[in-house]
Chains A and B, each alone.
Chain A
């Protein structure tokens, strides 16, 4: 089953005159870039009607990989749904389309000395839709929280073609259910974000970065937590332990010049007089932000395996040690960027040939369970799910609720299937999945894992 001319034409019409709808020569992938919300919603509606898988352009795991498992895939590109709809500096809110690059939002806000204090990887090139779908964050998450904390409202399109608006341009709301925040981190598996309303902050007038070398990660974590316990709240606090330099504790203070100076002075007994030049500070922040994209790992064929650990400050050192041992079985040394005050760390190694990232992940999860808790996920390569049981799935009742949410939002599972571990619909061959004898590999969303009761 391939894209017919009729369906291709219908999607092309939905994409709009200035939009894009192009079918690949094998007629199995259709790239669609609509220019209106209604067009995007209509494409989803067509996809549901025709049981065609939709991949939004969020992940390295995209249409090509998906086409291995499905007859037809729509690659939905929202980059043409871009731009600032409304910016209200006096209310510190901005309303933007989902395809707006983060950089463009920062530029618009800078005109009023405001900013969105998030710094996800990839140098602001990500669109705001991608940042929200992944609840992506960088080192400033320590000081300002993830993007979810700045999200006030959204316009989303559901797989049945409805356009829904939740939240709004007020900084506080207890009205209805927080559907918009539910989208943060949902990897566009429930709905596709079209517009977002975000809360901005005043841009700090000054910043200072202090960096100090440490003998080992343990000492670095101990120092970092001492800095955390000082009265001044850092914007970022992390440990870089990569392959090209020594292990360093880095703390970044942002605020008024006076406050930054005082904070720097108060950190001196722990970190010494190690304030770095602004350019060097920015470079360190960038290194932490892009953890796993270190230049040494960018060589062709040597893409990294990056594992994210979620723990808590008091356990991060043990968790780090356990997961490092797992990764060292595959490659030594293991580079790391650790955010001890929020209990998060990224660990990465160059991907050796024949290495199985899922095996590393599962072993890491098992080690964390032995320690009493914590989470691990693959950041690179992007983690996808088959029907296998999820070793770290914490709670069957919560899982059942999530599965029902997915089922009610996207009953045929056309939307980014496999990005979260949910069972396939009752009809095992929907949506548009070839029968097993024709499939080149396991289906990306399997039928074996069933909810264990609500």
Chain B
């Protein structure tokens, strides 16, 4: 049973003492200076200093640490690289942060079965680089892929531009080794086909660290495509760009990626180190990539160009080689970083609408942000209807911060009203848990709570995340009773 303990600040903490004894001095920290660096993840709007940070280097060490924390009733927050944007890895009061960055070994690559066994601290891009020698790749490619870890990807069911064709993380993870909240180690799913029982693997992926700590996984690898073609089509209006996307999708072509960046994003990129030669006079650019066999890629590329021209695209750029392709992607991948020039802080939102509602949603986002007098720029996965409205602001300005949050709330509600949902790939975390009742009723939230309890009867795993805070309190109360 979970119970609370006073908040100590140093090694006088008996929990820290036990953790140090079990894992070693170099694997635990509870000093103020170290803890300061872990107060938030990529969502800087909310901060909370953890009670301690733990760096295990194996599943067994994770298990040992969790057993101790469970015994003392200390809440547990797993953390990868801290690049998450919904506060999933924000510490909880008096809680421990388990940092998986030391678990970064690629344990096995099996080209015959096209799978790899990896620890969860492996950086996303490092896996693809490692398996490239076998002609294989790991498909999910979130924008933070050079920094984010596979564990974080599992927690958020991360996507990325190429998940339009290849699917998000849940389609690429075959099994997970998981430490449950009492320290037990279990395997969800299997590298062998058709495991017996409920599909807990799918349930776990995207559960934001609330069901346990994934420490290892067997992941699926895909053959690298034979050729890739990348196009950048500028448009005079956002509406035309969205219509071109709808037409491309309706034509039956399945691009590998289909992204839109608006004029404000383009301006930020072109003024930054991520400058990619995007046209500054365009209202929007469409970045499209097709991959596969040469004959099909060539044909699809021609059709896409024709559709873009039909909707008024001018001066379409075609990446003639890998360097040009990297240049075109540099702007897209660096878009969030580029916005750092606009203001000290950036609120990266993540909502989804049915693709056909993209133009209406974008109009509404502009209107809302103008009304709240906040600086908005948009970059999004157009094929999936997955919007990333970005709001630049200065966190030191309390009034502006308040307006940013208010605008964000309206944007979320607008997307839900259009038939969309709260998050496409960043997760709910603490950013949007208060909005959960917008899309789920009491029955659904109760079912979620039951589900969570089935994994974590004591409510120690990442409490306060995903579920609305009030309900979390009720759940915790019910558990204690």
Chain A residues with Cβ below 8 Å from B199 are: 135, 148, 181-182, 184-186
Which of these, A205, A314, A390, A392, contacts B113 with CB under 8 Å? A314
Find out whether the CB atom of A92 lies under 8 angstroms from the CB atom of B249.
Answer: yes
B46 touches A (CB below 8 Å)? no
Residue of B nearest to A149 (CB): B171
Q: Residues of B contacting A178 with CB < 8 Å?
A: 170, 202-203, 205-206
Residues on B with beta carbons closer than 8 Å to the beta carbon of A313? 112-114
Which residues of chain A are within 8 angstroms of B436 by Cβ–Cβ distance?
A: 175-176
B198: contacting residue among A92, A185, A407, CB under 8 A: A185
Shortest distance from the beta carbon of A268 to any chain B beta carbon, whole Å = 15
Residues of A42-98 at the interface with B, using a CB-CB cut-off of 8 Å, are 88-93
Interface string of A164-191 (1 = CB under 8 A from B): 1110111111111111011011100010
Q: Which of A91, A172, A393 has the most CB of B within 10 A?
A: A172
The contact of B168 among A172, A343, A453, by CB within 8 Å, is: A172
Interface string of B144-173 (1 = CB under 8 A from A): 000000000000110100010001101100
Q: Are A162 and B192 in contact (CB under 8 A)?
A: no
Contact B197 A175 (CB under 8 A): no
Measured CA separation A374–B194 after assembly (Å) = 8
Is A232 at the interface (CB under 8 A from chain B)?
A: yes
Out of B167, B197, B352, name the residue touching A398 (CB < 8 Å): B197
Is the CB–CB distance between B299 and A344 below 8 Å?
no
- B453: A residues at CB distance < 8 A: 404, 408
The verdict on A384 contacting chain B, using a C-beta distance below 8 Å, is: no
A176 contacts which chain B residues (CB < 8 A)? 428, 436, 439-440, 444, 448, 466
Contact-size category for B: 35 or more
Separation in Å of the A257 CB from the closest CB of chain B?
A: 10
| B185 and A397 contact, CB distance less than 8 A | yes
Which stretch from A11-19, A99-107, A122-130, A258-266 is at the chain B interface?
A: A258-266
Known: A259-B296, A310-B192, A405-B451. A172 touches B159 (CB 8 A): yes
Could you tell me the distance between the alpha carbons of A453 and B453 in the complex, rounded to whole angstroms?
14
Contact B194 A89 (CB under 8 A): no
Cβ of A202 to closest chain B Cβ, rounded Å: 3
**Interface residue ranges of A259-278 to B (CB < 8 Å):** 259, 262-263
CB contact between A170 and one of B421, B427, B466 (< 8 Å): that residue: B421
- For A401, what are the chain B residues with a Cβ–Cβ distance below 8 Å? 180, 186, 200, 454-455
Residue B207 CB within 8 A of the other chain: yes
A262 CB, nearest partner CB in chain B, Å: 5
**Are A344 and B193 closer than 8 Å at their CB atoms?**
yes
Chain A residue with the shortest CB-CB distance to B184: A397
Given A313-B113, A420-B197, the answer on whether A373 and B447 have CB atoms closer than 8 Å is no
Asked if A116 is at the interface (CB within 8 A of a chain B CB), the reply is: no
Known: A174-B428, A202-B254. Is A163-B443 also a contact (CB below 8 A)?
Answer: yes
Q: Which of A174, A390, A392, A409 contacts B424 (CB 8 A)?
A: A174
Closest to B435 in A: A175
Q: Please, how many angstroms separate the alpha-carbon atoms of A344 and B195 in the complex?
A: 11
- Whether A256 and B299, one on each chain, are in contact in the complex, defined by CB atoms closer than 8 angstroms, is yes
Interface positions, chain B 444-462, Cβ under 8 Å from A, are: 444, 447-448, 450-455, 457
Bound-state CA distance A263–B295 (Å) is 10
Q: Which A residues lie within 8 Å of B353 (CB)?
A: 170
Q: B184, A453: Cβ atoms under 8 Å?
A: yes
Q: Is the CB of A373 within 8 A of B190?
A: yes
Q: Does A312 contact B (CB under 8 A)?
A: yes
Query: Complex: how many Å from CA A168 to CA B354?
Result: 10
- Assess whether A164 is in contact with B443, with CB atoms less than 8 Å apart: yes
Residues of A within 8 A of B444 (CB): 164-166, 176, 179
Chain B residues with Cβ below 8 Å from A392 are 196
Residues of A within 8 A of B367 (CB): none
Contact B356–A375 (Cβ < 8 Å): no
Q: Is A311 an interface residue (CB 8 A)?
A: yes
**By the criterion CB–CB under 8 Å, are A182 and B202 in contact?**
yes
A178 to B202, CA, bound (A): 7
- Does any Cβ of A come within 8 Å of B365's Cβ? no
Interface 1/0 per residue, A144-174 and B, CB below 8 Å = 0100110000000010001111101111111
Chain B residues closer than 8 Å to A214, beta-carbon distance: none
A262, B293: Cβ atoms under 8 Å?
yes
Q: Does any Cβ of A come within 8 Å of B101's Cβ?
A: no
- B165 CB → nearest A CB, Å: 11
How many angstroms between the C-alpha atoms of A172 and B419 in the bound complex? 13
A263:B420 contact, CB within 8 angstroms: no
Would you call B384 an interface residue if the criterion is a C-beta within 8 Å of the partner chain's C-beta atoms?
yes
Q: Does B246 belong to the interface (CB within 8 Å)?
A: yes
> Is A259 a contact partner of B293 (Cβ separation < 8 A)?
yes
Contact across chains for B250 and A89 when beta carbons are under 8 A apart: yes
**Within 8 Å of chain A (Cβ to Cβ): is B6?**
no
Nearest neighbor of B425 in chain A, beta-carbon distance: A174
B266-294 Cβ-contact flags toward A at 8 Å (1 or 0): 00000000000000000000000000110
Q: In this complex, what residue of A is CB-closest to B423? A: A174
A342 with B193, Cβ < 8 A, contacts A163-B443, A172-B163 known? yes
Most buried by A among B114, B299, B354, B420: B354
- B443 engages A173 (CB within 8 Å): no
Q: Mark A32-50, 1 if CB is under 8 A from B, else 0.
A: 0000000000000000000
**Which 10 pairs across A and B sit closest by C-beta, in order of nearness?**
A310-B194, A202-B252, A397-B186, A310-B193, A404-B454, A408-B450, A259-B296, A172-B384, A172-B424, A170-B352
Given contacts A171-B355, A308-B194, 11 further A-B contacts (CB under 8 A): A88-B354, A164-B444, A165-B444, A166-B444, A184-B199, A202-B253, A393-B196, A393-B197, A395-B186, A404-B454, A409-B447
Interfacial residues, chain A to chain B (CB-CB below 8 A)? 88-93, 113, 135, 145, 148-149, 158, 162-166, 168-179, 181-182, 184-186, 190, 201-203, 205, 225, 231-233, 255-256, 258-259, 262-263, 308, 310-315, 342-344, 373-375, 377, 390, 392-395, 397-399, 401-402, 404-405, 407-409, 420, 453-454
